[in-house]
Structure 1
């Protein structure tokens, strides 16, 4: 607002501004009309008057010439933000500046161009606040979902690691058990092979310290191999129905081959009560050799040669363990099998 330089006191007479003297100035400024009494421009006018007379002291209005005063067209702050309400002509006169200011601030106005800034500005501000709140809420929800997904992925990864470790441990245990079983089987196979080799050597005449005899030059062979003599002919006891033992017992594992002591003919083979499974071999000289408590019989009839397998050691019949009960009978009477075998040149 332009204010002319203030003259000295008493230079002018009393001055009263009129409508003609307070005329509008072309350009950016204009004088607002009074609206129903004191208007907002009155404040500006009063400030101008005080500033005009401040330099020369208190002067009368009659000493001053008439001066044209103008003020800029500025909207009130409450009108711009929509928080104030003017009554009467004041609201109508300030509607256009408020609408222009609202458009400059990006607030939409009414379609008729008059710009109802108060209601529209408040609604626009509320709308913007709601948009910001919704945007912030969406950001929070997005972050929460991301955190939940990350937590789920980490939990799944941990579970997968735990399952893999358990599977690896089980596989390692199974592998160790398989290796142990394979080692035991290999050891058992070696032992069986060694036993078979020993039995073959005994059958061929190699002999052994455990009592596995040799095939005599006269055509006789021990009845089994890898044995231990447990009961001899003539031993007394309640285990035998006659009160004494009538044969010679060769204790050996079940399944150990049983062989013909000499060449002859199988005259009987089958179940025989307390003797269990029994094979009766009649030699060429008429001597009978009984093989009792067998687990199986390989030959049940026909002729066999010395050393030929005719059955397997077992524990059938009246027994206390696996063994071969060998009886030798001549003319229907039993003889000592140990003495008879030794008479054939065999080392029992």
Structure 2
């Protein structure tokens, strides 16, 4: 900036260019001539440095005002900012050389530049806060989205687990129903088989009973009569024989002399194993000293095998002891068999 001192007459001084053209104006010895006498042109001390300082502060303010985002897109440049005391000292030097007008003007420029710097800094802080708020809101939105997705995933997993559990329960119920059906069918089959067997047995009994009442058979075969009815001796507790003995090998079949029903079968003391056959007229036929019993209850037909010859009870050898009883009293078996047309 030019000095406020008047130039001497006859001295031609060129006006300096504007602040924006400081880089192109170079004062020479011809442009600035020395002044003789009391008046002299102020030396351009520190003018270029001061202008550079002002330019640097303006650049800082412009960068701050244009926003941090624009500054971040460019490479960082180190700028040195002189302290206010240096600027004030330089202006005081100029004031001593050229007057108070220059100091006042410099102070005004420094205040404007400082104010612009503060405004730029405030604008940058506002932009920074705005960016931070935007980043925070984006982070909050991202966290909310993550929570929503996690909750949705948990709900989907729960639904899948519920569907899988329902499928497993349905499959278990189906298997249980199939097992119950199979058990019911098996039970029904068993019941049907048992009923069929029972029906067959009943039918066989009816067929045996349906045989003619006049059909009679000898109680055994390949036998020898050894003791008759009424024989006396100490071998019998009553003192005499109450039946007819058919001596035969052990295991010889014993047959029903006629159709009837078995009323008793089992061990009977001195008689050994005994079967009692009751005929339709009430006559009882006793089969004693048996080695085994083939039929122990129910109806039997004439000539059906009901047991086998043995030597159980009070005996001296294997034989069939046959008794015929009517009304609880014994009768001669040989006579009774003969009355039925049998040749003993």
TM over 0.5: no
TM-score by length of 1: 0.40
TM-score by length of 2: 0.40
Bigger-Rg structure (1/2): 2
